[in-house]
Amino acid sequence: MQNWSGLKPQAHKTMARKASDTRFELQKGRMLRAAAKCFNEKGYSGTSLKDVANILGLTDAALYYYVKNKEELVYLCYIRAGEIGRETMDRAIADGDNGLDMVRRYLRYHLEVMTGDRGPIAIMSEIPSLKPVHREEVLEISRKHSTRFESILRNGIEDGSIAPCDVRMTGNAIMGALNWVPKWFRGDTTIAASVVEEFPQILSAGLEP
């Protein structure tokens, strides 16, 4: 027997479950952005779950619905940072015409996220605070990301769009500058627009042949 909407009861249960899952993910996303803000500003030792809860207007006890403890919270922030890095690099590689274009697109796409509605992103400066299994996972994500960026630089040298350089040192320099933006950016939209517009050119200017 169908209800007034023409949907079977099981269909309503499925829809309700999906809506609940969506609310959970949205709230979890808000939590990770708030946590990233706290960790970036105060560090791991200076941040408490209560600090994150205050930003969200929740009790600190409510956060235990999403995470077991502070260590898991910073771990999830770093996993999110890694996912965003992979996403923006995938997009840059797909859209770019050559190595230099891919570098600039990656910087722009990543900065748009960092300074936009999906930001802030946690700076991976507290990796030693993670338990060993989480630490190794995050380090492996970071290593793979750096290796992919070095490959873009190497391909750019081969296609002539990037001047010959030490790809390891060059990659570390560019990534270091990029990843430090959340440390000093405080949400000003005018500054955000300037960062997105100017930083890709500034950070990649030395790559030009």
Residue 55 within any structural domain of the chain: yes
Residue 195's closest CA among 178, 171, 183?
178
- Identify the pLDDT of residue 18: 57
Residue 56's closest CA among 36, 42, 71?
36
The model's confidence at residue 37, banded by pLDDT at 50, 70 and 90, is very high
Q: Encoding tokens for residue 82?
A: 């890694």
State if pTM tops 0.75.
yes
Residue 202 within any structural domain of the chain: yes
Tokens 């990659």, residue? 171
Residue 75 within any structural domain of the chain: yes
pLDDT at 14 over 60: no
In total, the chain counts a number of residues equal to 209
Residue 122's closest CA among 15, 28, 206, 32?
32
Domain enclosing residue 119, as ranges: 9-207
Residue 3 within any structural domain of the chain: no
How large a percentage of the chain has pLDDT more than 90?
A: 74
Residue 148 within any structural domain of the chain: yes
- Mean pLDDT is lowest, of 41-45, 74-78, 142-146, for 41-45
Nearest-angstrom CA–CA distance, 64 and 154: 45
CA distances from 109 to 59, 60, 68 (A): 34, 33, 32
Residue 117 within any structural domain of the chain: yes
The model's confidence at residue 148, banded by pLDDT at 50, 70 and 90, is very high
Residue 1 within any structural domain of the chain: no
Residue 62's closest CA among 50, 70, 71, 73?
50
Residue 2 within any structural domain of the chain: no
When divided into structural domains, the chain yields a total of 1
Q: Check which CATH number belongs to the domain holding 60 and give it.
A: 1.10.357.10
Three-state DSSP state, 40: helix
pLDDT at 198 over 60: yes
- Contact status, residue 47 vs residue 55, Cβ threshold 8 Å: no
Looking at per-residue confidence, does 157 or 2 come out higher? 157
The mean per-residue pLDDT over the stretch 51-56 comes to: 91
